[in-house]
Structure 1
Amino acid sequence: MSNTIQNVAEQFIHYLNEENFDKAESCLDPDFKFIGVMGKREGASVYIKDMKQMKFKYEILKTFTSSEDVCFWYNIDMGEKTIESSGWYHIKDGKIRSLKVLFDPRPLLKES
């Protein structure tokens, strides 16, 4: 089972990196919830709309799986800054139901 949930989460990251946002959204449950350091989003389409604007790129460094959860330790290229982050993906019935991302936001808050 964990190989399947890991594949769903990795495929989602792959689609985001390719900027294939329709396929990325197909990995998400319609009622997807995002919880991040800088805010929350509810709904797959709301989250994907944000991703289309931000166009982050992800480099997965390490993957952990447990039951219906996948956790990545990754670098997120946010344009001017690359931030080391952790993303916790909860997957149910083959779709990502929620994502919680943690990182130190201080580099993003500093004036350049």
Structure 2
Amino acid sequence: METVVAKYLEAWNATDPAARKAAVAAIFTEQATYVDPLMAVTGHAEIDAGIAAAQAKFPGWVFRPAGPIDAHHNQVRFTWSLGPEGAEAPIIGFDVAVVENGRIAKVYGFLDKVPAA
């Protein structure tokens, strides 16, 4: 599951549109769903658009693992942080992903720390 999480975060960090689309296709099933407090999307195109929107809102920020990976059966949960490289991350969350044949089929995302509006 460590590889799945690493590839997932790579997709979120891929800023080149072609590389991001390829990363999304590699780690998500065709009809994968992603839901968090800010978006609910299905399929590669919508997931890619959601990632692009997050990158546009937080240009230059990167997603990093922020704790241990906990997995059993076909599911994994992990904490991540989002912030500028080399600085304390102002956003922290955790995701639970359901994996099918080595690719993510569902993601349930939660935000634990967000800056005040």
State the aligned residue count. 103
Residue 85 of structure 1, aligned match among 93, 111, 116: 93
Confirm whether residue 24 of structure 1 aligns to residue 11 of structure 2: no
In structure 2, the residue matched to 1:37 is: 37
Partners of 2:114 and 2:93 in 1: CA distance? 13
Identity %: 11
Q: 1:6 touches 1:70 (CA, 8 Å); kept in 2?
A: no
Counterpart amino acid of residue 96 in structure 1 = I
Deviations 1:8-52 (A, max 9, x none): 221121233243302321211110111101231111211112212
Partners of 1:36 and 1:83 in 2: CA distance? 14
Q: What TM-score results when the alignment is normalised by the length of structure 2? A: 0.74
Where do 5+ consecutive residues of structure 2 fail to align? 56-60
**Structure 1 outlier segments of 4+, above 6 Å:** none
In structure 2, the residue matched to 1:58 is: 63
Aligned residues: CA RMSD = 2.2
Partners of 2:49 and 2:39 in 1: CA distance? 15
Confirm whether residue 75 of structure 1 aligns to residue 71 of structure 2: no
